[in-house]
Amino acid sequence: MGASGQRWFGVGRSLAADPAKAGAEACREALGGRRAGLLVVFASLTHATREMAEAVHAEAGGDVLMIGCSTSGEFTPDGRGAGVVVNALGGYDVSVRAVPHDSVDLYEAGIRAASCLDDIDAEHRVVLLLGDGRSGDQQEMVRGAYTVAGALVPLVGGCAGDNVTQTGTFHFFSDGTEVQVLPNAVLGATLGSPVPFGIGAAHGWRRVGEPMVVSRSENGIIHELDGEPALDVYLRRTGGAPELAADPEAFLQFATVRPLGLARRTGEDIRVIFQADPQTRSIFGLADTPEGAMVWFMEADTDSLVDAAPAAASAATAALESEPLGLLVFDCCVRSLALGGDGTDLAAARLHDAIKPTPYSGFYSNGEIVRKTQAKGMHHLTVVALAFG
Amino acid sequence: MSGWSTLQLTEFFSAITRAGTIVTAARLAVQRATESTDAEVAAVVCGDDVPASVGLGRTPSKSLFTSLDPGTDTATFPSVGPMHVSVHTLDRDTTDRLIVARADEPFAAEERQMLQGMARVLGLALRGLRTLEAERELRLEREREAVARLELLQALERRERLLETLLRVQRSANQRTPLAEVLDMITAAASGLLDGVPVALVLRDAVASVSSGCCDTDALIDAARRAIAGGGPVDCGRLTAAPVHIDGDVAGALVITAPSAAAGVRESEGRDVLAAFAEQASLALTGAHTLAAVHEARHDPLTGLPNRALFLQRVEEGLDAAPAPGTAGLLYLDLDLFKQVNDTLGHAAGDELLRAVAGRLRAAVRDTDMASRLGGDEFAVLLEPLHHRGQAREIAQRVIDSIALPYDIAGRTIHTRASVGIAYSGGRSAERLLEEADLAMYRAKRTSKGTFREFEPDMRPELPQAV
């Protein structure tokens, strides 16, 4: 299913307290009186309701493809906030899929989400994925999607957020008529165009100190580093107070901005640490950190973190052959913790400066997705941008 | 520090040992191979079948991959265009292979070696899984005899043990264990899997590591030379050898003695173990970067002589091989006046003197003897074989005379001389023998510098506590 004719991209935002009202307002602004082929909705957890999703869909005429997800905050050229952002796209060939939580394993979920690619025959295609960083190893989902997409079609997207509450996420979906609100789902949308799409990614973190070997780990839990209990090594090397181990909230705040980096052929994969077990002296990562791997502590200064957002966006627009019509940006929610309020505002401002006057929107995500040459799939503490030409 | 490739291989090991079916194992292999090399396309080919592929969509034509043979380095895929290709066979007995393709640049030697390691592990995993599937069928059919079933299970157990052992060695290699220990672990582990048959690693015409068990060194080196010359595994009498590579260049060979039929290890399994451990040794050596590192691990960097550790190992081996008393001897040398040279002419001159002494020492002993620098201005020589004590005295005197000739260093004529202690083999450890020669040397130094003395039991109490 799709549309044809002039391509366009519109963004609307509303911070209205009532979710349905905010959804309708944001959608109206994004459409600007036009008929959209696809809506991409980002809504804060407070606004992630069925009423909101139905209001957005109805505002666009009630017969339109829609994907979307809950966030840990959204941003547009108007700034950042917690409400509803609607992106409306016209002139692209589009097809969508939804895979409910636990209906299949994540690898199969990736295959099914990306199978919307089968419906689109265009010179340039991209698969936009909205995953759920809380349900297992999303790299498996990306691997499944890659078996469908292959070398020719890039995968890009992000994982839904939950205002960093660790409670659960929601996805909004419509394949034309019915509107669905699905907890912890995986959604896919294929877009086809006669001109290329642009993709960029940046993180701004760098290695610090000597490497360590993950001498024992299992399913994302790191038991030992260099043969010592992982928690002890972690606190010693980061200078963390021993009391942190017994205070989950304080440990989360401390550890999320002190990630580990996994050795890769080109650079490193970042692993966010978010929890510790003071009894077993282990630490928990958001994604698997395999036994035998070599890891570094990663650090970043405010400037390099701030500049990751404009860098990703500029790389995405630079890959286009034409003027950018719009961008979608997936910005890791943990970066906001590292940057603080002012730093996050600065990143948003520099992003705006880098690509103005192009319309864009993004959200603070729980994992970022890019699978193309030189990029493995799931990323963390990263900014990913998709530019539409 | 290990390179990224050995780490990737470790992750691959961990993942593949969890695979429960052939399709899962093949799928894991193509995923990990592409992700670890930033490649776009990969496939596993088994005969005419392609149990898994990635990068060309869900159902690419099998012939795209089955047409790619080992040695192919470029290929053109529909729509994607020309790509760099690396093809690796999974084992010696079949043409099953792992194919990986990348657009941006050719695969480096280290990457090809890592992919070959992955292919080898996949081959072993697939064999194990096929055995397991065969065992499942066997149970359903209930046609074969219990003996055959047991054999299959044992074979499976041995494969699992092989994978576990490889994983263990791999982890040690990553944990910055000294290279010499990793090499010893490889020969010991391969031997352990083959019911204790001797396994040796030969590098540049010398045995770098050997598992416990008696081996004919010349035969080992000969087998290794043939494998190096042939560029692949060779059978040489009861020995089988497979080449070992450093950064893609042949550097030596891993050699095993053919397991005896009674040992219950099948010939094909011996070959599999050899191939897997040869890959393992190649990776460990490549991780240590150069042959120099191999040499340096066991040699004194200043004089090029074997260091204390290697010397003691050789003495121990010599004593084991010829336990009869008096068939080997040990010289312990200490230079007189060395400190004065160092203090008056500087360390550079001191170093030059040590190099010159080492050269004369090497020239003064026989080809079968082994000279070593123990540290500082102390040297030792293993005399083997020894037919009578007069022979040792003769060599000791020759060494003393040779070292006493003047040296021309930094434009100056320098004299030094050596005091030498001699000890003879017979029911004592290498360490103990060295200690006795040291005591004898001490007596010579105290009573008459520049002479030799033979160890006598009453010299023992004379060792001053402070020395």
Catalytic residues of B: 377
Sign for the pseudo-dihedral over CA of A215, A217, A220, A221: negative
* pLDDT of B392: 95
Instruction: For residue B250, tell me if it sits in a domain.
Output: yes
Over residues A49-105, the pLDDT tens digits come to: 999 999 999 999 999 999 999 999 999 999 999 999 999 999 999 999 999 988 889
Q: B313 in helix, strand or coil? A: helix
Residues of chain A with C-beta less than 8 angstroms from the C-beta of B7? 263, 292-294
Residue B398 lies in a domain: yes
Query: Two tokens at B221?
Result: 């080196």
Residues B289 and B345 occupy one common structural domain: no
User: Confidence band (pLDDT; 50, 70, 90) for B101?
Assistant: very high
CB A187 within 8 A of CB A97: yes
Do B396 and B293 share a structural domain? no
Q: Do A291 and B54 touch (CB under 8 A)?
A: no
Residue B236 pLDDT class (50, 70, 90 cuts): confident
Q: Is A58 on the interface with B (CB under 8 A)?
A: no
Cβ burial B374-411 (10 Å sphere, 16+ → b, else e): beebbbbbbbbebeeeeebeebbeebbebbeeebebee
State the DSSP H helix or E strand holding residue A333, giving kind and residue range, or none if neither: helix A333-355
Do both B5 and B132 map to the same domain?
yes
Do B23 and B113 belong to one domain? yes
Domain CATH number, residue B398: 3.30.70.270
Q: Tell whether B149 is covered by a domain.
A: no
Q: Give yes or no for a contact between B431 and B407, defined as CB atoms under 8 angstroms apart.
A: no
More confident residue, A61 or B177: A61
Same domain, B312 and B428: yes
DSSP letters spanning B134-182: HHHHHHHH--S-HHHHHHHHHHHHHHHHHHHHHHHHHHHHHTT--HHHH
Nearest residue to A190 (alpha-carbon basis) of A232, A143, A152, A228: A152
With CB atoms and an 8 Å threshold, state whether A292 touches B14.
yes
**B150 within some domain:** no
Same domain, B110 and B18: yes
- Closest chain A CA to residue B12: A290
Distance CA(B287)–CA(B289), nearest Å, equals 5
From chain A, pick out residues whose CB is under 8 angstroms from the CB of B280: none
* Lowest mean pLDDT, pick from A240-244, A268-272, A318-322, B226-230: A268-272
- Report yes or no: A358 and A330 within 8 Å, Cβ to Cβ: no
CB contact under 8 A, B10 and A150: no
Is residue B466 over pLDDT 50? Answer: no
Strand order of the β-sheet with B199-203 is B206-210, B199-203, B249-257, B239-246, B234-236
A341 touches chain B (CB under 8 A): no
Boundary-marking domain end, from B297, B316, B335: B297
For position B284, which CATH number holds? 3.30.450.40
Do residues B115 and B231 share a domain? Answer: no
B55 contacts in chain A (CB < 8 Å): 146, 150-151
The most confident of the ranges A276-280, B5-9, B257-261 is: A276-280
SS3 A148: helix
How far apart are the C-alpha atoms of B252 and B207, rounded to whole Å? Answer: 9
Could you identify the residue written with the tokens 């982890």?
B171
Q: Do B38 and A265 touch (CB under 8 A)?
A: yes
State how far residue A281 is from chain B, nearest Cα, in angstroms: 21
* Closest to B289 in 3D by CA, of B153, B141, B113: B113
A chain contacts of residue B79, beta-carbon cutoff 8 Å: 152
- H runs (alpha helix) in B266-411: 267-287, 291-296, 308-321, 338-345, 347-364, 389-404
Residues B21 and B162 reside in one and the same domain = no
Residue numbers of the domain that contains B6:
1-144
Does residue B303 fall inside a structural domain? Answer: no
Q: Is the separation of the CB atoms in B383 and B365 below 8 Å?
A: yes
Specify the number of domains making up chain B: 3
Considering the domain architecture, whether residues B6 and B132 belong to the same structural domain is answered as yes
Report chain B residues touching chain A, CB-CB < 8 A: 1-2, 4, 7-8, 10-11, 13-15, 31, 35-38, 40-41, 54-58, 77, 79-80, 103-104, 111, 170-171, 174-176
Q: Which helix (H) or strand (E) holds A19?
A: helix A19-31
Q: Rounded to 5 degrees, what angle do the CA atoms A232, A233, A236 make?
A: 85
Q: How many CA atoms lie within 13 A of B31 on its CB side?
A: 22
What is the predicted pLDDT for the residue at B259? 61
Collapse the DSSP code of B34 into the 3-class scheme (helix H, G, I; strand E, B; otherwise coil) and give the result.
Answer: helix
Do the domain assignments include residue B423? yes
Separation of alpha carbons B139 and B15, rounded Å: 28
Q: Mark yes or no for CB contact A265/B56 under 8 Å.
A: no
Q: Would you give the DSSP letter of residue B99?
A: E
Distance CA A137, CA A129 (A): 15
Q: Does A15 touch chain B (CB under 8 A)?
A: no
| Structure-block tokens of residue B20 | 């429960």
Structure tokens at B67: 């047409």
| B14, B31, B79 ranked by CB distance to A291: nearest | B14
Q: Which runs of consecutive H residues, i.e. helices, occur in A38-152?
A: 50-59, 106-114, 138-149
Cβ neighbors of B27 (< 8 A, separation 6 or more) are: B51, B52, B54
Tell me what the pLDDT averaged over chain B comes to.
Answer: 84
Q: How far apart are CA A88 and CA A28, in angstroms?
A: 10
Q: If contacts are CB pairs under 8 Å, which of residues 237-276 in chain A contact chain B? A: 263-266
CA B140 from chain centre, in angstroms, equals 45
Q: With contact defined as beta carbons under 8 Å apart, do A69 and A172 qualify?
A: yes
Residue A110 contacts B where some CB pair is shorter than 8 Å:
no
Domain boundary among B278, B297, B316: B297
Measured CA to CA, the distance from residue B361 to residue B380 in angstroms comes to 9
Please determine, for the modelled complex, whether the ipTM score is greater than 0.95: no
Chain B CA closest to residue A147: B54
Residue B448, domain member (yes or no) = yes
Residue B465 lies in a domain: no
Q: Which one-letter amino acid corresponds to residue A174?
A: S
**Minimal Cα–Cα distance from A107 to chain B, Å?**
11
Query: In chain B, what residues touch A264 (CB-CB under 8 Å)?
Result: 4, 36
Give the range with max mean pLDDT: B140-144, B279-283, B426-430: B426-430
At residue B394, the 3 state secondary structure works out as helix
| Candidate ranges A167-171, A370-374, B154-158, B266-270; pick with highest mean pLDDT | A167-171
Residue A326: strand pairing partners: A388
Q: Which residue did the predictor score with more confidence, A288 or B103?
A: B103
Domain match, B98 and B229 both: no
Give the CA distances from residue B87 to residues B104, B248, B284, in Å, rounded to whole numbers and listed in that order.
17, 15, 22
**Confidence at residue B249, expressed as pLDDT on a 0 to 100 scale:** 80
Give yes or no: residues B208 and B313 share one domain.
no
Of B57, B171, B175, nearest to A150 by CB-CB distance is B57
pLDDT digit string, tens, across residues A285-296: 877 777 777 888
- A positions 282-301 inside 8 Å of B (CB): 290-294
Question: Which of B297, B319, B335 marks a domain boundary?
Answer: B297
Query: d(Cα A298, Cα A304) in Å, to the nearest integer?
Result: 13
User: Is the same domain home to B276 and B354?
Assistant: no
Query: Which amino acid is it at B238?
Result: R
Average of per-residue pLDDT across B316-326: 86
Contact B363, B463 (CB under 8 A): no
Phi/psi of residue B241, each to 5°?
-130, 145
Q: What is the CA radius of gyration of chain B?
A: 28
- C-alpha of B159 from chain center: 22
Helix (H) or strand (E) holding A84: strand A84-90
Report d(CA B390, CA A124) in Å as an integer.
Answer: 89
Q: What is the pLDDT of residue A122?
A: 94
In chain B, the residue whose alpha carbon lies closest to the alpha carbon of A213 is B175
| Count of other CB atoms within 10 angstroms of residue A280 | 12
Residue B165 CA to chain centroid, in angstroms?
A: 16
Substitution target in B1, B4, B50, B118 with the highest count of A β-carbons within 10 Å is: B4
Q: For residue A267, what pLDDT is reported?
A: 67
8 Å CB contact between B251 and B208: no
- Cα(A72)–Cα(A334) distance, rounded to whole angstroms? 10
CA pair distance A288, B242, nearest whole angstrom: 36
Asked if the Cβ–Cβ distance from A150 to B13 is below 8 Å, we say: no
> Among B38, B57, B58, whose Cβ lies nearest the Cβ of A266?
B38
User: pLDDT of B341-376, one tens digit each?
Assistant: 888 888 888 999 999 999 999 999 999 999 999 988
Chain B residues close to A373, C-beta within 8 Å: 38, 40, 103-104
CA distance B41 to chain A (A): 7
Best of B11, B53, B111 to disrupt the A interface by mutation (most A CBs within 10 Å)?
Answer: B11
**DSSP class per residue in A226-237:** TTEEHHHHHHHH
CB A321 within 8 A of CB A193: no
Residue B188 burial (C-beta neighbours within 10 Å; 0-12, 13-18, 19+): middle
